[in-house]
Amino acid sequence: MSEKKRLHLHVPEPEFRPGDTPDFSNVTIPKAGSVRRPDVDVSPEQIRDLAYSIIRVLNRAGGAVGPWADLLSDDELIRGLRHMMTLRAFDARMMMAQRQGKTSFYMQHLGEEAVSTAFQCALEKGDMNFPTYRQAGLLLAQDYPMVKMMNQIYSNEEDPLKGRQLPIMYSEKEYGFFSISGNLGTQYIQAVGWAMASAIKNDTKIAAGWIGDGSTAESDFHAALVFASTYKAPVILNVVNNQWAISTFQGIAKGGSGTFAARGHGFGIPALRVDGNDYLAVYAVAKWAAERARLNLGPTMIEYVTYRAGGHSTSDDPAAYRPKEESDAWPLGDPIERLKLHLISKGIWSEERQLQTEAEIKDTVLAAQKEAESHGTLHSGGSPSTRDMFEDVYKEMPPHLRRQRQEAGI
């Protein structure tokens, strides 16, 4: 009798580890402008192929081509470039501040600036984002005061959240930015619930949920898709595939679906993939999905194919799990450089103007930092009052907390 074949567990491995030479030549990237743009009322079954392609607008020469192009004016494109440059400059200052001990923690957006800044421009006042920790561009694209963001990062006396949140976990209702949660995936189902409530009230506002590739393995991701599909919630379900969930590559969470966008198929949700480093493509796809939601046609899932060029956070060293050269080899390039090339090709920008704008933005960010630091940093200057921890919890403070506050002399 022959011996039975023994079972073995399959554990996906990334193609490249430290010391390897990264080679992305096997990654299929459609030509810019080659992916069709369907009508917004198309059925999910008719666009299944779009979950396996990549919608792109900008070609290598800087031209905007194809059916998803020409949706933004010259002024809007220049503002988009400035927003991305501001986010990158803001990140650089805050990363340095963390290294100097002025804050305990920071997470940068290096290489992913187009995703949040372009998406926000497709929304309207009153719409609500339910972001993760790498979508600060949603605020900066609305010209949100950088000083307030820095006050929160420093947890100083002017921290709008009074020291109750981890640095970079902002919250701003008036700017459609729901409180960031450190518990992965929770915001996805909340976005769907908010969108359902908007529909129940016969309102006009839509919601956008955000999640990273790794967090799609969380149960809240799947629960969100069930409710969004069943109740046709006016919500955009964003998946930012930046290839790495801390040190775990995207193949672990993706499973056998082929792409993250394809996860929507099992729930009957229209799904698209877009070049997350292409500002014009991100905007066009976001605008398409927003229109679907506003027409009461239900949810749309979007996968942004991008690359996390920096570490996961200031607590992470990516050199421990991927080649240092991998970000340079990434075939979709740098979102700022690509939009800059497009503006130059249109004759509305130049290298000289780019350098001048960089200097202006750095000065603006530095001025905001100085103002924020005048209110204190992590270990120096003003900090939130001890009294704040007793406030905003109960409508009427219970006796035991009143006693504790009295004992503290506040």
Q: What is the pLDDT of residues 329-364, one digit of tens each?
A: 999 999 999 999 999 999 999 999 999 999 999 999
Dihedral through CA 366, CA 368, CA 372, CA 378, nearest 10? -40
Domain of 260: which CATH number? Answer: 3.40.50.970
Which residue range forms the structural domain that includes residue 269? 44-315+322-378
| Residues 310 and 110 sit within 8 Å (Cβ to Cβ) | yes
**What does the buried/exposed string (b/e) look like for 370-407 if buried means 16 or more CB atoms within 10 Å of the residue's CB?**
eebbebbbbeeeebbeeeebbeeeeeeeeeeeeeebee
Residue at 159 is within a domain: yes
Residue 389 pLDDT: 87
Half-sphere exposure of 156 (CA within 13 A, CB side): 23
Mean pLDDT of the region 237-247? 94
Q: Domain tally for the chain? A: 1
CA distances from 156 to 164, 175, 179 (A): 11, 22, 18
Average pLDDT of the residues of the chain: 96
Residue at 403 is within a domain: no
Residue at 384 is within a domain: no
Q: Read off the tokens for 164.
A: 């109750």
Residue at 23 is within a domain: no
Give Cβ neighbours of residue 2 (< 8 Å, ≥ 6 apart).
none
pLDDT tens string 123-170? 999 999 999 999 999 999 999 999 999 999 999 999 999 999 999 999
Interhelix angle 74-99/335-345, nearest 10 degrees: 150
pLDDT tens string 170-181? 999 999 999 999
CA distance 24 to 325: 12
| Residues 282 and 252 sit within 8 Å (Cβ to Cβ) | no
The model's pTM is 0.95
Residue at 345 is within a domain: yes
Look-up of token digits 């009052």:
385
Residue 50 pLDDT: 98
Whether the predicted pLDDT of 3 surpasses 90: no
Residue 224 pLDDT: 98
The percentage of residues in the chain with a pLDDT greater than 90, rounded to a whole number, is 90
pLDDT tens string 280-338? 999 999 999 999 999 999 999 999 999 999 999 999 999 999 999 999 999 999 999 99
Closest Cα partner for 39 from 287, 360, 288, 286? 288
Residue 158 pLDDT: 97
Residue 31 pLDDT: 97
Residue at 169 is within a domain: yes
Whether the predicted pLDDT of 116 surpasses 70: yes
Residue at 389 is within a domain: no
CA distance 311 to 247: 9
Whether the predicted pLDDT of 2 surpasses 80: no
Mean pLDDT of the region 110-127? 98
Residue at 358 is within a domain: yes
Give Cβ neighbours of residue 396 (< 8 Å, ≥ 6 apart).
none
Confidence of residue 1 (pLDDT cuts 50, 70, 90): low
Closest Cα partner for 64 from 289, 357, 354, 344? 344
| Residues 296 and 308 sit within 8 Å (Cβ to Cβ) | no
Confidence of residue 25 (pLDDT cuts 50, 70, 90): confident
